[in-house]
Chains A and B, each alone.
Chain A
Amino acid sequence: MLRRLHSVAGLALALLLVAIAATGVGLSLQPAVDRLAAPAIAPGVSVAALAKAVAARHQRVDAIRVSGGGAVTVSFNDGAGKQVEIVDPRTGAGLGAYRPSETFRWLADMHRSLLMGDSGRIAVALSALGLLALSLTGAVMLARSLGGAGALLRPVRGGAARRWHGELGRLALAGLLLSALTGTFLSATTFGLLPGAENPAPAVAAKGGPAAPVGRLAGLAAVDVADLERLTFPARNDPTDVFTLRQSRGEAVVDPSTGRILAFTPTSTMDRIGRLANALHTGRFSWAFALFLGLSTAAAPVLGATGFLMWRRRRATPRVIAPAPTADADTVILVGSEGGSTWGFAQTLSRALSEAGQRVSLAAMDDIDNAHLRAQKLVILAATYGDGDAPASAKKFLEKLGGLERRIPVAVLGFGDRTFPSFCGYAERVVAALDAQGWPRLIAPKRIDRQSAQEFAQWGRDLGAALGCALTLEHVAEPPKTNAFALVGRETYGEAVGAPVAILRFASPGNAPRFEAGDLVGIVPPGSAMPRFYSLVSSRRDGVLEICVRLQPGGLCSTWLHSLKAGEQIEAFIRDNPSFRPVEGRAPLILIGAGAGIAPLAGFVRANDSERPMHLYWGGRSAASDFLYEHELAERLAQRRLTSLRTAFSRHPADAAYVQDRVADDAHRLRVLIRAEAQILVCGGRDMARAVAETIEAVVRPLGLDLATLKSNGRYLEDVY
């Protein structure tokens, strides 16, 4: 509902908001420009002194005004018609004619009315309201997707559009909210929708005595120029006319003969609020604040564009694929999908089951009803939204579950991201609810990390075994556009210890997409549609695409890659891996890996031009056989791209150890680094990752920290396979 509101308002207002935001950004420069154009007001000069200096230079002065930005102008008439000049607020000296900028005037007109009069003003007012709604719904959605209001500062994960939208939106939120709120208020004032603003000024006349020199009037001498908004001089030909002196707190009427204050009208509350709204909207009181608003506003077009991309991607995902009518299906697949990718997996599963002779029906989890339970079994594919919340197509599922008539065997497959603290949190809630209500299990529940096609295929084999049929799940999320990369170099390690690992270097063609160390390359081996992913050691600017491939016994892709000859080509595509990348800055990095898991870590070290502190912990089998990157790492230490290197070898004759043992040995040193905001990046097999996680948990406990906290702050990242 919230997202729908956000999308509809965003799409409807996108163009309008872009126009209003663009002109708003232009206007945000005005206070800075004005500040440069006119000297600043320094306290210590009285209004009387300024008025005296100005009056001495002119035959007739009408008014002295102080603009919101602090420029002092005087309107006067020396016989050649009325003119306006800028004056020095300290001396009253004339600084030349005042000419408001045509550019800013046009921008302001565009910003307020789109140059279309009242209809434009109404459109702008509605846009301000829309922006208010977008900011609020966006903030709530971002907080939800990150795991609650307290998690609003966590790193945003996902594709490029989603990350830009989230990160920028978060930065711009305060400025956009303020602009929208004050803009709405100003629109309401323009259309007279708010109660009357001003206290009525009493009609008072001076006694009509001879005018005293303006510099001696007590009522004007008591006020500092810094507090002045406007001083209107009395008409020359009317001895009963008065000075009116406007300050932010109210308006005083001063007798030109006696200098006494004849009346004072305080500024009404409504008027004060209006002035505050105006000041906050224009930022005219501080050029820096105005620029802050301008920068926030500049994010609006980017938010519009990335939001549009996200919306289009969501719409492009399949919603309904129903191969068999519900009534005579023997397997019902229920899908809980957020972005639509889970539907893709469901389709792959449905196709495979159909090929195995099953009659399959597909439905959203929210659509579950008793008709589905006439089937023999239920398969639930459930994604997770944010921190364990139900995804879009499963919001009502748990509610509906208890009211169903029958219980049939059910298999649950969760989809999630292991880097989130609550990995597959929603699927786990579904499993707990099913167990509590006595639904029999078809097979044990399983969780898929970041849409891993390999894990999905593995689960398919388990499901097939339970169903008594061979189930081959070859899931291809989207047939990606590949580039050809030719093998140019290979080093093989670890053959002596029975764990061959090849470092493969491919020439990167000029038209290859951008990639960086830590990103993934998807390689599709001949005879398979399913890509295998490897972490990249190199970046595009290195001109090569470098990976480490451990030979898996019987592995189609790794066997093929190991047998490649120089010059032979592979078809591969790049997948961003923003969730496994060092944070920006100078904080130390603790890199922990084993075996081929060294790949992205070695890549981070290689790219460490700024000599940021990096500490590498790595485990292999034998220093003599599988010490990957031994020479390069020695060189990096000498170049200070790598600060320290600790290795462990499990088959060392005297000192057999695993990488987690080195981590445990260095507990004290690691605590010092973690206290200095170090980030930990772990890459390798699942067993190693688990052992390292347990060790780190113990290491940080004396600091009052735990792994979940580090993970949720983005300070403990894992790339696990």
Chain B
Amino acid sequence: MKRALPMLAATAVFIAPTLAQARQVTFETTLKAYGGNEAYVALYLLDGAGKYKGTLWMAGDKTKYYRHLSDWTRASGGRLAEVDGITGASVGSGKTLKITVDIADALINAGYKIHVDTSVEDGMDNPSEVVAPLDASASRKPIAGDGYVKSFKVTF
């Protein structure tokens, strides 16, 4: 089963004043068939200097486990307001998390990086197991993570 999560709300950071100045960007995270509990997955954006810009999506709704997404926690300060309205179900072994976000043109090709943290109970914590540029040239090129992410693909 493919997971297609509707991406309605995004934090104001990503949305340009008018839609004409924004682009729909799709993020597809496919997990390996690691065969354990469902994974918590956080997608978030850091700028070129490594400064936190905002969270794109949080897959996993039990906040007590967020501490295991350690890079996300450190970057965002672990504030729950950061994932308010952009939280969904955790992602099962071998499943795909697909989200679409309207992202302001100003953020694209501007040195921003997408980070993916994953964590599985009784398994591994993988901070920043994927780091991909928010760059149109990287569109549709899958990247593998070294933890649970089999492939991560951004489509502009």
Interface residues of A (CB under 8 A from B): 62-63, 75, 77, 81-82, 84, 100, 102, 105, 109, 189-190, 192, 197-198, 200-201, 203, 232, 235, 244
The reply to whether B74 and A203 contact each other, CB–CB distance below 8 Å, is: yes
Docked pose: A201 CA to B78 CA in angstroms: 9
A62 and B145 CA atoms in complex are apart in Å by 14
Would A190 and B67 count as touching, CB distance under 8 A?
Answer: no
Given contacts A63-B125, A82-B126, whether A232 and B70 have CB atoms under 8 Å apart is: yes
A82 touches which of B36, B64, B78, B124 (Cβ 8 Å): B124
B62: chain A residues at CB < 8 Å are: 190, 192
Task: Check if B36 sits within 8 Å of A100, measured CB to CB.
Answer: yes
B74 CB → nearest A CB, Å: 6
Contact for A77 among B35, B67, B122, B146, CB less than 8 A: B146
* A81 nearest in chain B by CB position: B146
12 A-B pairs whose Cβ atoms sit less than 8 Å apart in the complex: A62-B124, A62-B126, A63-B125, A75-B125, A82-B124, A82-B129, A82-B146, A84-B124, A105-B122, A192-B64, A198-B67, A244-B70
Once the chains bind, are B36 and A105 in contact (CB under 8 Å)? Answer: yes
Which residues of the partner chain B approach A109 to less than 8 Å between Cβ atoms?
A: 37
Interface pair A189/B147, CB less than 8 Å apart: no
What distance in Å separates the Cβ of A638 from its nearest Cβ neighbour in chain B? 65
Residues of A within 8 A of B18 (CB): none
Top 6 closest A-B pairs, CB basis? Answer: A100-B122, A82-B146, A82-B147, A75-B124, A77-B146, A81-B146
Is B111 in contact with chain A by the CB < 8 A criterion? no
The chain B residue with its CB closest to the CB of A274 is B64
Residues of B within 8 A of A232 (CB): 70
Closest Cβ of chain A to B36, distance in Å, is 6
Closest partner residue, chain B, to A117 (CB atom) = B89
Q: How far is the CB of B81 from chain A (nearest CB, A)?
A: 13
Residues of B within 8 A of A77 (CB): 146
Select A100's contact among B70, B77, B123, beta carbons within 8 Å.
Answer: B123
CB-CB nearest in chain A for B37: A105
Residues A197 and B64 in contact, CB atoms below 8 Å apart: yes
Judge whether B63 and A192 touch: CB under 8 Å: yes
Q: State how many angstroms separate the Cβ of A86 from the closest Cβ of chain B.
A: 13
Closest to A230 in B: B125
A235, B146: Cα distance in complex, Å: 13
A105 to B92, CA, bound (A): 14
Interface residues on B, range: 20 to 34
**Given contact pairs A100-B122, A189-B64, A197-B64, a sample of 15 additional A-B residue pairs in the complex whose CB atoms are under 8 Å apart:** A62-B126, A75-B124, A81-B146, A82-B124, A82-B129, A82-B146, A84-B124, A100-B36, A100-B123, A190-B64, A192-B63, A192-B64, A198-B67, A200-B78, A244-B70
- Set of chain A residues within 8 Å of B124, measured between Cβ atoms: 62, 75, 82, 84
| Contact residues in B for A75 (Cβ distance below 8 Å) | 124-125
In the bound assembly, the distance between CA atoms of A197 and B66 in angstroms comes to 11
User: With the chains together, A200 CA to B80 CA distance in Å?
Assistant: 13
Q: What mask results when residues 100 to 141 of chain B are scored 1 for a CB within 8 Å of chain A, else 0? A: 000000000000000000000011111011000000000000
The smallest C-beta distance from B13 to any residue of chain A, in angstroms, reads: 20
Contacts of B63 in A (CB 8 A): 192
| A102 engages B146 (CB within 8 Å) | no
Tell me the B35-63 residues at the A interface (CB within 8 Å): 35-37, 62-63
Shortest A245–chain B CB gap in Å is: 13
Instruction: Report B67-96 residues with CB < 8 Å from chain A CB.
Output: 67, 70, 73-74, 77-78
Instruction: Label chain A's interface by main secondary structure.
Output: mixed
| Minimum CB–CB distance for A284 against chain B, Å | 12
- Name the A residues within 8 Å of B146 (CB-CB): 77, 81-82
Q: Which chain B residue has the least Cβ–Cβ distance from A73?
A: B124
* Chain A, Cβ-Cβ closest to B120: A100
Instruction: Provide the bound-state CA to CA distance between A152 and B11, in Å.
Output: 61
Q: Which of B35, B70, B73, B124 is most buried by chain A, counting CB atoms within 10 A of its CB? A: B124
- Pick the contact of A201 from B64, B74, B123 — CB < 8 Å? B74
CA of A362 to CA of B128, assembled, Å:
79
Task: For the complex formed, measure the closest distance between the CB of B125 and the CB atoms of chain A, giving whole angstroms.
Answer: 7
Which residue from chain A places its CB closest to the CB of B64 in the assembled complex?
Answer: A189
Say how far B44's CB is from chain A's closest CB, in angstroms. 15
Residue of B nearest to A198 (CB): B67
Give Cα A318–Cα B67 distance, bound, in whole angstroms: 60
Closest A residue to B128 by beta carbon equals A235
CB nearest neighbor in B for A197: B64
In the complex the two chains form, is A200's CB within 8 Å of B36's CB?
A: no
Q: Roughly how many angstroms separate A203 CA and B72 CA in the complex, as a whole number?
A: 12
> What separation, in Å, do the CA atoms of A75 and B126 have in the docked complex?
10
Query: Residue of A at shortest CB range from B50?
Result: A238
Instruction: Find chain B residues with CB under 8 A from A197 CB.
Output: 64
Question: Among the listed B35, B77, B123, which residue makes an inter-chain contact with A102, where contact means beta carbons less than 8 Å apart?
Answer: B35
**Nearest CB of A to B135, in Å:** 19
Cβ contacts under 8 Å, A84 to chain B: 123-124
CA distance A62 to B125 in the complex (A): 9
How far apart are the CA atoms of A84 and B125 in the complex, in Å? 11
A-chain residues with CB within 8 Å of residue B64 when the two chains form the complex: 189-190, 192, 197
Find the residue from B78, B122, B128 having the highest chain A CB count within 10 A: B122
* Closest chain B residue to A102, Cβ basis: B35
Q: How far is the CB of B20 from chain A (nearest CB, A)?
A: 37
Of all chain B residues, the one with the shortest Cβ separation from A109 is: B37
CA distance A481 to B124 in the complex (A): 64
A77 to B144 alpha-carbon distance, docked (Å): 14
Residues in chain A near residue B123, CB distance under 8 A? 84, 100
Q: Are A200 and B126 in contact (CB under 8 A)?
A: no
Q: How far is the CA of A599 from the CA of B123 in the complex (A)?
A: 67
A100 to B36: give the CA distance in the assembly, Å.
Answer: 8
A198–B63 alpha-carbon span in the complex (Å): 11
| Alpha-carbon gap, A200 to B62, bound state (A) | 18
Q: Which of A62, A105, A200 contacts B77 (CB 8 A)?
A: A200
Chain A residue, CB-CB nearest to B79: A200
| Smallest beta-carbon distance B129→chain A, Å | 8
Identity of the chain A residue whose Cβ is nearest the Cβ of B125 in the assembled complex: A63
Q: Which residue of A lies closest to B148 (CB)?
A: A82
Specify the chain B residue showing the minimal Cβ separation from A100. B122
> How far is it, in angstroms, between the C-alpha of A82 and the C-alpha of B128 when the chains are bound?
13
A200 cross-chain contacts in B, Cβ below 8 A: 77-78
Tell me the minimal C-beta distance from A101 to chain B in angstroms.
9
Whole-angstrom distance between the alpha carbons of A232 and B117 in the complex?
A: 15
Q: Quick one: closest A residue to B90, CB to CB?
A: A117
